[in-house]
């Protein structure tokens, strides 16, 4: 299976995933990128097949060269019919602040539910998290890891996935993309095999365990496993799993 990357103009007003991410970060100066990743055999009709929506937002750096922390946030809707992968990089001192802010902006955590323990709050949302450092110079490079969330997300290195996603969103990232592309390809196949099935998340867990050989930190396993569990609960509460709702 080959992957077809379809860039999406971030000025579009008719694609809900674009509207949501632009609205979420409209008060911060930065760069947006969005694309659709799908099987090349989509025949121009995305309604009939699973697809991944990749979204990237990079806050303008205070100086160049600069290092900014980033997070990868991964979530599913409609039991694997749609998956969203977000790469968010902000001028923040730790990954918990970026993740907590992201969860508030995308309504995973409501603004009236303030918590002094941001890490614990992000352990209870319907999204998997990982992160590292983005080095901003003439281009973008990804390295390192988050102390709180690690740099492995559902079986793939977050730096490799972030580099691939950012390139697909037509932002100037350089580095290893083969692992990220291979992961997206396998994830699309998993979605095709099990789309709409209520066992999708169980199959995803099996896939994660096989990829990591169970060599994964307990705190990371807890956050991401909780994310899958809460995604399944959210899907069960949706009336229409084909739509992005509060992403």
Place of tokens 């050989």: 213
* Helix, coil or strand: residue 53: strand
Q: Which residues pair with 4 in a beta bridge?
A: 38
CB 222 within 8 Å of CB 149? no
Q: Which two tokens stand for residue 108?
A: 């995973």
Tell me how far CA of residue 53 lies from CA of 31, 50, 168, in angstroms. Answer: 17, 10, 10
Closest CA to 33 of 53, 3, 52: 53
Helices (H), the chain: 16-24, 95-105, 118-122, 158-168, 178-194, 200-212, 218-237
Give residue 21's pLDDT.
85
Convert 41-77 to b/e letters by CB count within 10 Å (16 or more is b): ebeeeeeebbbbbbbbbbbebeeeeeebbbbbbbbbb
86 alpha carbon, distance to own chain's centre: 3
Phi, psi torsion values for 213, nearest 5 degrees: 55, 30
CA–CA distances in Å: residue 141 to residues 67, 166, 213: 9, 10, 27
| 214: confidence class by pLDDT, cuts 50, 70, 90 | very low
Name the band, by pLDDT with cuts 50, 70 and 90, for residue 241: very low
16-20, 105-109, 156-160, 198-202: segment of lowest average pLDDT: 16-20
Which has the closest alpha carbon to 49: 203, 195, 183, 243?
A: 195
Contact 17, 47 (CB under 8 A): no
Give the tens place of pLDDT for each residue, 109-131.
Answer: 865 556 678 989 999 999 999 99
pLDDT tens readout for residues 63-97? 888 899 999 999 998 899 999 999 999 999 999 99
For residue range 166-210, what is the model confidence (pLDDT) as tens digits? 999 988 888 888 889 999 999 999 999 998 898 999 888 887 777
Q: How far apart are CA 155 and CA 18, in angstroms?
A: 26
The answer to whether 197 and 79 are in contact (CB under 8 A) is yes
Q: CA geometry: angle at 212 spanning 227 and 79, to 5°?
A: 35
Q: How is residue 222 written in tokens?
A: 């807890």
Dist. CA 222–CA 225, nearest whole Å: 5
What are the residue boundaries of the structural domains of the chain, listed by start? 3-231
Tell which residue, 202, 181, 204, has the closest CA to residue 191: 204
């Amino acid at each position: 299976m080959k992957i077809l990357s379809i860039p999406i103009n971030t000025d579009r007003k008719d694609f809900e995933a674009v509207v949501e991410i632009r609205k979420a970060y409209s008060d911060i100066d930065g760069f947006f990128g969005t694309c659709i990743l799908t099987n090349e055999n989509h025949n121009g009709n995305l309604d009939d097949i699973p697809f991944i929506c990749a979204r990237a937002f990079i806050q303008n750096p205070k100086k160049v060269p600069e290092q900014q922390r980033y997070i990868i946030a991964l979530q599913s809707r409609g039991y694997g019919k749609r998956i969203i992968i977000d790469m968010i990089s902000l001028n923040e001192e730790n990954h918990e602040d970026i993740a907590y802010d992201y969860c508030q902006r995308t309504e995973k955590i409501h603004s009236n539910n303030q918590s002094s323990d941001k890490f614990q709050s992000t352990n209870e949302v319907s999204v998997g998290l990982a992160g590292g450092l983005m080095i901003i110079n003439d281009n973008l490079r990804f390295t390192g890891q988050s102390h709180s969330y690690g740099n492995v997300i559902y079986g793939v290195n977050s730096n490799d996935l972030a580099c691939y996603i950012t390139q697909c969103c037509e932002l100037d990232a350089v580095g290893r993309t083969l692992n990220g592309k291979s992961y997206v390809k396998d994830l699309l196949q998993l979605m095709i095999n099990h789309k709409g099935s209520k066992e999708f998340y169980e199959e995803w867990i099996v896939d994660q365990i096989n990829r990591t050989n169970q060599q994964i930190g307990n705190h990371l396993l807890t956050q991401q496993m909780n994310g899958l569990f809460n995604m399944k609960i959210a899907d069960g509460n949706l009336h229409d799993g084909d739509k992005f709702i509060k992403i």
